[in-house]
Chain A
């Protein structure tokens, strides 16, 4: 059974069909990539799946259960978390605190205990901090724990978002351009990390522009253009799909495309 299933989903903004009857299924433990030219509707699709936008029609199923239109915080409880294309980091907090927020659902939340700083709260804080440190270590940010997020470099913030999303313990993790703006070394590290996350059983849905990375790590690739599905298949199938090449480079560029994508 697929862990995440999207059926005929769509939304329009002022008459523009940003996402138009898109369907796909993601198998557990897979890396599932969504690609397409700029403005194809990839991020909008993510916003629909993660509950940030309400779809106009269509369904989202998480582990077989209909979760269409649920709020992001409810989806988080059901095991779906995500990162953002434009950094959404808690800049006024340290790296460790950022990831500790990711532990939110695992924390004991008794307001009175918090205000009175009961021993249980101190214990909870220590637990969350330890867990956060482990996640920071895992994404390679162990040295940044006490650094205010505002003082961290861009590439590190990209990974901080991943650590925070992982801390929520998701079954399905949506990563929106995790390598955007990163240099070659950083991109390689993120690629390794994504592969590693999937190998440990967390399903990854990926939006990414770095085609080399997508082609290397994806189990399946879904191609969007103008909000519609263009093609879906394995990396190899998509790479050689004539419509995909046309979408990316136009009819005339297909020869060069074969070289570029290959």
Chain B
């Protein structure tokens, strides 16, 4: 058992089983839809966790990349007739390029300066999306063309459940691969001590940039997936509040825990769905939950649980 737990592939394998297993107990399309939303958020959160939990660099603006990914599958097919899958890849590549360009100066900053710079970046992206209505439909959002592959049209919540679940498992697999590689060790090392990493030859700036770019691509792909699932997208996807939700999911699930990323995403996606009955009290409840979770579970759900069980690994 312990050996199984400590295997690098245990977490992605468990997540794959979870995706398959849950499909058998889903009572209705509504549940498939909510689960698909969980997988999408989880994908973005896994990427952000690589940046925050493993490399120790905060980003309060990751929804910016999420939004760009979402709008690329809306705009590129509408304006240039690109296939949605190509648009998704183009969005990911575009976000990688953007992260590469802005990441270099941003990642030189530390602590609250890094926080405000990433926050500013995210807000600028969401402002451009809201203001350039000729391209994006402005604050009202814009429709997203349906995904069709070789004449087969992706529709129905269960179809998207499988597609997004698959993307999430692949994302988790690539993330655990990265963490266990020389690159992953360099990232974890610079989290604990930048100067110690540098004196054994780790190019700290370069590695921060690498993980920033990777996490941007995760967010972009997740954003594209959300746009395709919903068939509609608004600037909220790129907004400050969404950035904060992503960060909260990372911390709530557990910094540096891939499984925690999925748990954090699940809690913060499912609970508000359950709370929609309280309509007018939605903000009140969301704010209260964020405070309560952070006060009571400050080291994150998965690390807290694994400490409780007595295992060392999360």
**Direct chain A–B contact by Cβ atoms under 8 Å:** yes
* Per-position binary interface string of chain B over residues 8-20, scored 1 when its CB falls under 8 Å from any chain A CB and 0 otherwise: 1000000000000
| A226: interface (CB < 8 Å) | no
If A114-B183, A115-B177, A124-B182 touch, does A93 touch B192 (CB 8 Å cutoff)? yes
Q: Which of A96-128 contact B (CB under 8 A)?
A: 97-98, 100-102, 104-105, 107-109, 111, 113-117, 121, 124-125, 128
Closest residue of chain A to B178, judged by CB?
A115
Name B184's contact: one of A71, A75, A114, A164 (CB within 8 Å). A114
Closest residue of chain A to B204, judged by CB?
A73
A93 touches B182 (CB 8 A): no
| A81: interface (CB < 8 Å) | yes
Interchain CA distance A115-B210 in the complex, whole Å? 12
* Per-position binary interface string of chain B over residues 180-212, scored 1 when its CB falls under 8 Å from any chain A CB and 0 otherwise: 111111101101110111111111100000100
Stretch from A82-90, A201-209, A253-261 that touches the partner: A82-90
Interchain CA distance A171-B261 in the complex, whole Å? 43
* Per-position binary interface string of chain A over residues 124-150, scored 1 when its CB falls under 8 Å from any chain B CB and 0 otherwise: 110010000000000000000000100
A114 touches B182 (CB 8 A): yes
A91 touches B204 (CB 8 A): no
Minimum distance in angstroms from B162 CB to a CB of chain A: 23
Interchain CA distance A72-B193 in the complex, whole Å? 13
Minimum distance in angstroms from B63 CB to a CB of chain A: 24
A88 touches B201 (CB 8 A): no
- Number of inter-chain CB pairs below 8 Å: 110
Closest residue of chain B to A109, judged by CB?
B182
A89 touches B193 (CB 8 A): yes
B185 touches A93 (CB 8 A): yes
Closest residue of chain A to B198, judged by CB?
A72
Name A165's contact: one of B191, B200, B214 (CB within 8 Å). B200
Chain A residues with CB under 8 A of B201: 73, 76-77, 104-105, 168
A90 touches B193 (CB 8 A): yes
| A224: interface (CB < 8 Å) | no
Minimum distance in angstroms from A230 CB to a CB of chain B: 28
Name B182's contact: one of A52, A75, A107 (CB within 8 Å). A107
| A17: interface (CB < 8 Å) | no
A92 touches B178 (CB 8 A): no
B185 touches A97 (CB 8 A): yes
Closest residue of chain A to B56, judged by CB?
A92
A residues in contact (CB < 8 Å) with B: 50, 52, 71-73, 75-77, 81-82, 84, 88-93, 97-98, 100-102, 104-105, 107-109, 111, 113-117, 121, 124-125, 128, 148, 161, 164-165, 167-168
| The 5 nearest A-B residue pairs measured at CB | A114-B181, A76-B201, A88-B196, A105-B201, A117-B177
